[in-house]
Structure 1
Amino acid sequence: MDLIFANAIRRYVRDSHAEELELLRTLARIPAPSHHEERRASFIAGWLHAHGARYVRIDDEKNVICLLANPRAERKASGDAQTLAEHVKNRTLTMYAAHMDVVFADEDELPLREDDERMYAPGVGDDTANLVNLLMATKFLLQNPLARERATRKGNILIVANTCEEGLGNLDGTRDLFGEVGEWVDRYFSFDLYLPQCISVCVASERYQIDVECTGGHSYHDYGNANAIEEVCSIIEDLYRINPPIDVMDGAHTTMNVGKIEGGTTINSIPSHAMAKFEFRSSSTENIEVMRSFFNAVIERHRRELALRDEAGKVTVTTLGVRPSAQGVDAEALKRMTERSARIVKRVTGQEPDLKPASTDANIPLSLGVPANTIGTVRGAKLHTRGEWIEKKSLRQGLEVVLRLMLDD
């Protein structure tokens, strides 16, 4: 990067810090459960318009999408978004994204407090602070035509505040977006998690709900009838008999978890229904397939055995979510992209990048063969708890990382 842009970035990062903190305070208070991000989406779309973005829309999944074209292409377009989309649709897109949703179901204003060094709020680091760094970087491009021309010299940019990254959101926001524009995307950056994370290997997962139904009855008079809770526990016991596979060559490991069990009514009733939620994860496609086959075999065996003991006995499985694994990615292209990202993270932070795999929105492009990185742009801790916090001064390093990713060669 030449000295002019490097100095401009440093000045902007320094001079905009107070504004960035105020934007974070505002956004962090707006509730945004997965599938219910509309209030944040409305605020962000308005904020982008107010700072000069011409082509902003909220799609059916509530993703906020802002197209930044090369200024020369914009001058050739007639001025409306549809004409510009037609004009640039065959140019490659680089997508920069951060998710709006948080893991908490609050519908009222989220609580926020701060001291001199930290800001505390549910979801403040995952992913609100990363989203704020993306927005502030976008403002820099909007207000600096030379910077935007440099950032778009190889193709257009799509800035996305996406929905449904967390939990059972199932990556629906990013999944839907790639269904619309994925054929033109040649690189994808997700801003999520913490500095100095720089991730190119995705963790796939499959999540299921297991429901067991039985005749049930009175705990004394009908003793011996099939017990749905007992059956669910037996299924879980069998699921935990497997030793999750580990790939010796690349160290890819596999995990599994039963995260919820419920069922029954009263202490003197044989439960007629019980439920468990089960997931498995791995960065290896082959390991995911092993776990899926094992899971299906356990379920099928219990289904047969229960039907023999109880004519009303039934075991059903509902898929709650599938986060796909990487498929068909050009290994050399992904390596070059990741080495560049890691170099920028190290240059800005002075730390060796953390390359450990993770499950993020980047699973979607990687599953479609698109090189993708997930990069943390803030320091903090206690994510997914109501005591989550971020280090306020770390936003400066994070914003510089985002801008260098957009502008560095």
Structure 2
Amino acid sequence: MKEAIQTLLTSDKMAHAFEYLKQDEAHTIDQQIELVQISSFSPFEEKRAIRFKELLTEAGLDPVMDEVHNVYAHIHGTGNGPTLYVSAHLDTVFPPETPLPVKREGTKIYAPGIGDDTRGLAEILTLARAIKESGLKPVGDIIIGGNVGEEGLGDLRGMRHFFSKNADKVDGFISVDGAGCLICHGGTGSHRYEVTFRGPGGHSFGAFGLVNPIFAMGRAISYISELRTPREPKTTFSVGVVNGGTSINAIAYECSMLVDIRSNGLKELEELDAKLQECIKRAVEDENNRWETERSYEESKDSFDHNGRITVDVKQIGNRPAGSQPKDCEIVSAAAAAFEACNETVEYESAGSTDANIPISLGIPAICIGGGGKGGACHSVDEWYDSKDAYKGSQRVLAAIFALVGLDGVSEPLLSRRKK
């Protein structure tokens, strides 16, 4: 494998592409800054998607935009190799009203979303130009673009949509996400819920004795906090947002909480989910049993149209599948060897919550890799990206792509075709 990659990297066309990426870096940074100033909070990515599509067209490709605003283009090979899908995500975590100022200090750029994943998008564009300008002809096919719905409650909808229609056409997937020299080769699964508790509501003094949705939610949070989870595979839970109530002197008629549970193991995630549901059910039963609901209802039935009991609505708002691949599997080994041939020290992450979750869960080889440079304060308005030698990240991603799909007349693909 190392010998094959070395042959690839020393070819004239790849050397030309590497030099192009270096010379194109200033242009790449300009596009990174342009894109980061286009608000793209999930699920409102359309404006950025339209501009990204225009930039892919300017790079010499013929991109399409699908129904959910994924943007991608095909780079056709000889027809004798695998199909590799390479994408960065278009969305950010910042709501539309968030100011998006850009500040530059030397090679350091400050802006919300500048690294995650605007750097990935800019890198996709420079890779497209390098392939076109250097005349690189893959053996297999490359699908290259940007996708929606990776962040927050986007629930990987871009990847779900794409693979629901194209799973049988893809042999491997690379997500270019953020900075650094990282290879993540597993998927952390997550279930997310909006849990709404409802009751009759009333005056805190005059209707005292009625069941209280906020008490029920408090009980549920307390029960959840006492859950125990395994360290391996890492399994976690959190109540991240609580809402409800109308006044300090009112018994609430409604309140809600947002719950996030995660695990690197599918079995452990399902087991934790069952425990979570039991905590919610128990909380409702205990609150209803705590108060003399029949007496309270009789005393207040003229004022409240309600059965006098707590009800709960558990709505799933996120479901990211878990999945794993061995560290020495084909796609990880080939990408790592390409990185090392570019004199990079590879960092591995066994699992993460990324666009790669979807293909991994479908049995499609997939990884998430960093796009070079350095970054910090991710998901905050103080996010920064240091572009010093960032072109080296573009070079190693290009090396990984062509190691996997092969370069016509130079190297054979290291990624196998899947049996479909």
Paired position in structure 1 for 2:330: 336
SS at match of 1:354: strand
Question: CA shift at 1:43, angstroms?
Answer: 1.0
Q: Please state if 1:204 is matched with 2:201.
A: no
* Residue 104 (structure 1) aligned with residue 91 (structure 2): no
From 319, 324, 343, the equivalent of 2:321 is 324
> How far did residue 92 of structure 1 move?
4.2
Question: Structure 1 unaligned runs (5+)?
Answer: 74-87
Contact 2:41 2:92 in 1 (8 A): yes
* In 2: Cα distance, 1:52 partner to 1:64 partner: 14
Offset, 1:10: 3.0
Question: Identity over the aligned pairs, expressed in percent?
Answer: 27
Distance in 2 (alpha carbons) for counterparts of 1:386 and 1:365? 31
**1:31 partner amino acid:** S
Q: Which amino acid aligns with 1:17?
A: E
How many Å apart are 1:356 and its aligned residue? 4.1
1:65 aligns with 2:48: no
CA contact (8 A) 1:342 1:353 kept: no
Structure 2: distance between partners of 1:144 and 1:351: 27
Q: How does 1:149-168 map to 2 (within 5 A)?
A: 149=137, 151=138, 153=139, 155-168=140-153
Q: Which moved more, 1:293-302 or 1:254-263?
A: 293-302
1:273 alignment partner, one of 254, 269, 275: 254
Aligned partner of residue 258 in structure 2, secondary structure: strand
| CA–CA distance in structure 2, aligned partners of residues 162 and 323 of structure 1 | 16
- Work out the CA distance in 1 between the residues paired with 2:102 and 2:66: 29
Please state how far the C-alpha of 1:302 moved relative to its aligned partner: 2.8
Determine the C-alpha separation between the residues in 2 that align with 1:2 and 1:348. 9
2:272 match: 291
- The answer as to 2:108 corresponding to 1:118 is yes
Structure 2 stretches lacking a partner, 5+ long: 1-7, 294-307, 404-410, 412-420
Alignment deviations for residues 51-106 of structure 1 (CA, whole Å, 9 cap, x no partner):
2213x111001000111112x67xxxxxxxxxxxxxx9xx7421001001010012
What is the RMSD computed on CA atoms of the aligned residues?
2.0
Other-structure match for 2:131: 141
Question: Structure 1 length as normaliser, TM-score?
Answer: 0.88
CA distance in 2, matches of 1:192, 1:37: 17
Of 363, 371, 393, the match for 1:369: 363
Post-superposition Cα deviations, 1:20-78, rounded to whole Å, max 9, x if no partner, equal: 11111111111111111111111111112122213x111001000111112x67xxxxx
Name the larger-Rg structure: 2
* Paired residues for 1:133-282 under 5 Å: 133-145=123-135, 147=136, 149=137, 151=138, 153=139, 155-247=140-232, 252-282=233-263
The 1-side partners of 2:280 and 2:163 are apart by: 33
| Partner in structure 2 of residue 82 of structure 1 | none
Name the CA shift for 1:352/1:46 in 2 (closer, same or farther; >3 Å). Answer: closer
For residues 195 and 278 of structure 1, do their structure 2 counterparts lie closer, same or farther at Cα, with a shift above 3 Å needed? same
- Asked if 1:360 corresponds to 2:337, the answer is no
Structure 2 counterpart of 1:46, from 27, 47, 54: 54
The alpha-carbon deviation at position 139 of structure 1 amounts to 1.3
Please give the secondary structure, in 2, of the residue aligned with 1:126: coil
Q: Is the 8 A contact 1:92 1:184 kept in 2?
A: no
- State how far apart, in whole Å, the 1-side matches of 2:334 and 2:144 are: 20
Higher helix fraction: Structure 1 or Structure 2? 1
Q: How much has 1:2 moved relative to structure 2?
A: 4.2
Matching residue's letter, 1:24: Q
Is the CA contact (8 Å cut-off) linking 1:133 and 1:395 kept in structure 2? no
Calculate the TM-score normalised by the size of structure 2: 0.85
Q: Distance in 2 between matches of 1:353 and 1:5?
A: 28
Cα distance between partner residues in 2 of 1:356 and 1:108: 33
Question: Would the aligned equivalents of 1:306 and 1:314 in 2 still touch at CA under 8 Å?
Answer: no
Deviations 1:106-128 (A, max 9, x none): 25772111111201111110000
**Equivalent position SS for 2:271:** helix
Q: Aligned to 1:402, which of 393, 397, 404?
A: 397
Query: How many equivalent pairs are there?
Result: 379
Q: How far apart are the structure 2 equivalents of 1:397 and 1:50?
A: 23
* Residues 353-399 of structure 1: CA deviation (Å, up to 9, x unaligned): 23242100000000101010000113100000000000112421211
Find the partner of 1:388 among 367, 383, 398.
Answer: 383
- 2: distance between equivalents of 1:270 and 1:244? 34
1:210 to partner: Cα distance: 1.0
- Alpha-carbon distance in structure 1 between the residues aligned to 2:371 and 2:319: 27
Q: Secondary structure, in 3 states, of the residue corresponding to 1:27? A: helix
Q: Secondary structure at the match of 1:9?
A: helix
| One-letter amino acid of the counterpart of residue 262, structure 2 | R
Q: Where does 1:8-47 land on structure 2 (aligned, <5 Å)?
A: 8-47=16-55
1: CA distance, partners of 2:90 / 2:347: 25
Contact 1:196 1:376 (8 Å CA) reproduced: yes
Q: 1:348 aligns with which of 342, 355, 378?
A: 342
1:349, distance to aligned residue in structure 2 (A): 5.5
